[in-house]
């Protein structure tokens, strides 16, 4: 199999890249060892607010403000087209509730969370589920003076279990009937994000109709439905665009000719698959997703063994868990303005997403935003290269 572009890593970055490149008529493949971190995320697109304090060495600065705007607009269009529309303005933040009732700033949110922004200081009714193990309405008690709570017995306890039940029309009907009986007086209703494994827009409309309240979902601990919905939509959208997926296995070998990588061998038991490519985009993420691996003394990039930059002369980790300026958060691959790794022997490799040096996602709250912006930008650079 020969592709114009082979993307390594099936997370936000890789999927956005794949959608763009295949839309340009390039034959594109995505190779992923497993489901990405975005599938367990809150599903919200943190961009970084008003961009105050983004330093010169951050990947956003390299992309430029205009690229950030256009990439996020591109994302919104894709999601609208895919049937999971996102709300919010590119350089404005809105707030959502976290599972411990903290208000948290983010930029783009799925439809199901858009009402959370207006709920501050208003009367709130939390609807949860009996015995649900990843959501506790008690956290909302102190935040809101005018607070009430009702529990529905869904017959199951996990986030995915309850969400799967909501996919069943009979269950939804039963829930709506129960909801009518609750006679909710508050202005807002908050529900943990379990209203179905697919886009819950219709169900939310229905809830709003029978209660007269404004409804929003609250993201839960992983596995979190909004993240799963986002990932599944993007993956199926990409697949519909004609992108090929090689899912579930790592890369055992790469082959090269002169200064080009020519193919990857996927580590499928019994039948290793060779995937040839004219170009490659590395979007394997940082430590949690396995793109980077921390040895005791050093840090390794796991596919091409590219050189990893880390701030010199400092311990890798600071003293406090709550310190979001961990030196390790800066570790990553240093790239040229064309997203090509510096000090690499190969010309046809591009790198994007949280594996980039100085991305500091925790500090700048920019996880998905960074993925979208650099994913698209690197894809455009790769397209340019292939011309």
61: phi then psi, degrees, rounded to nearest 5: -65, -40
Q: Which is nearer to other proteins, 102 or 202 (CB)?
A: 102
Question: How far is the C-alpha of 77 from the C-alpha of 75, rounded, in Å?
Answer: 5
CB of 188 to other proteins, least distance (A): 18
Q: Which is nearer to other proteins, 134 or 208 (CB)?
A: 134
CB of 72 to other proteins, least distance (A): 19
Q: Which residues of 180-199 are buried (b: 16+ CB within 10 A; e: fewer)?
A: eeeebebebbbbbbbbbbbb
Q: Which is nearer to other proteins, 35 or 377 (CB)?
A: 35
Cβ neighbours for 241, distance < 8 A, ≥ 6 positions apart: 18, 19, 22, 23
The Cβ of residue 295 has, within 10 Å, a number of other Cβ atoms equal to 7
Q: Which is nearer to other proteins, 51 or 287 (CB)?
A: 287
CB of 131 to other proteins, least distance (A): 7
Q: Which is nearer to other proteins, 31 or 101 (CB)?
A: 101
Question: How far is the C-alpha of 266 from the C-alpha of 332, rounded, in Å?
Answer: 24
Kindly list the residues in this chain that would bind other proteins in the complex (CB under 8 A): 37, 41-42, 98-104, 131, 133-136, 138-143, 157, 219, 221-222, 224, 286-288, 290, 293-296, 316-317, 319-322, 324, 362, 365, 367
CB of 195 to other proteins, least distance (A): 18
Q: Which is nearer to other proteins, 156 or 197 (CB)?
A: 156
Question: How far is the C-alpha of 326 from the C-alpha of 329, rounded, in Å?
Answer: 5
CB of 119 to other proteins, least distance (A): 15
Q: Which is nearer to other proteins, 74 or 250 (CB)?
A: 250
Q: Which tokens hold the place of 12?
A: 């936000």
User: Would you call 170 helix, strand, or coil by DSSP?
Assistant: helix
Cβ neighbours for 67, distance < 8 A, ≥ 6 positions apart: 373, 376, 377
Give just the sign of the alpha carbon dihedral 288, 40, 73, 363. Answer: negative
DSSP assigned state of 154: -
Question: How far is the C-alpha of 161 from the C-alpha of 177, rounded, in Å?
Answer: 20
Owner of token pair 């996990």: 158
């Amino acid at each position: 199999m020969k592709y114009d572009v082979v993307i390594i890593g099936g997370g936000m970055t890789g999927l956005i890249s794949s959608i763009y490149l295949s839309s340009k008529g390039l034959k594109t493949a995505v190779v992923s060892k497993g489901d990405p971190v975005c599938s367990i995320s809150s599903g919200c697109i943190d961009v970084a607010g008003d961009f105050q304090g983004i330093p010169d060495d951050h990947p956003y600065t390299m992309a430029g403000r205009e690229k950030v705007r256009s990439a996020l607009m591109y994302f919104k269009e894709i999601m609208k087209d895919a049937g999971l529309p996102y709300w919010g303005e590119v350089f404005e933040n809105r707030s959502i509730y976290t599972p411990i009732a903290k208000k948290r700033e983010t930029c783009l949110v799925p439809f199901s969370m858009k009402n959370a922004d207006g709920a501050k200081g208003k009367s709130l009714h939390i609807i949860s589920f009996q015995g649900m193990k990843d959501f506790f309405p008690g956290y909302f008690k102190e935040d809101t003076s005018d607070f009430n709570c009702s529990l529905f017995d869904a017959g199951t306890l996990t986030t995915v279990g309850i969400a799967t039940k909501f996919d069943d029309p009979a269950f939804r009907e039963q829930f709506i009937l129960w909801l009518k009986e609750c006679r909710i007086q508050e202005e807002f209703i908050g529900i943990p994000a379990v209203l179905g494994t697919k886009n819950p827009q219709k169900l939310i409309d229905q809830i709003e109709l029978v209660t007269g309240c404004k409804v929003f979902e609250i993201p839960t601990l992983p596995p979190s439905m909004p993240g799963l919905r986002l990932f599944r939509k993007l993956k199926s959208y990409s697949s519909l665009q004609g992108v090929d997926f090689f899912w579930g296995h790592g890369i055992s070998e790469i082959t090269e000719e002169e200064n080009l990588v020519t193919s990857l061998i996927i580590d499928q038991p019994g039948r290793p698959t060779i995937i040839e490519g004219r170009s490659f985009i590395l979007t394997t993420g940082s430590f949690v997703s396995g793109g980077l691996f921390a040895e005791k003394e050093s840090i390794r990039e796991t596919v091409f063994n590219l050189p990893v930059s880390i701030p010199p002369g400092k311990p890798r980790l600071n003293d406090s868990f709550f310190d979001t300026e961990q030196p390790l958060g800066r570790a990553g691959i240093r790239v040229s303005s064309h997203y090509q790794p510096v000090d690499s022997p190969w010309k046809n490799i591009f790198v994007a997403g949280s594996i980039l040096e100085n991305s500091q996602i925790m500090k700048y709250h920019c996880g998905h935003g960074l993925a979208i912006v650099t994913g698209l930008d690197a894809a455009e650079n790769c397209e340019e290269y292939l011309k």
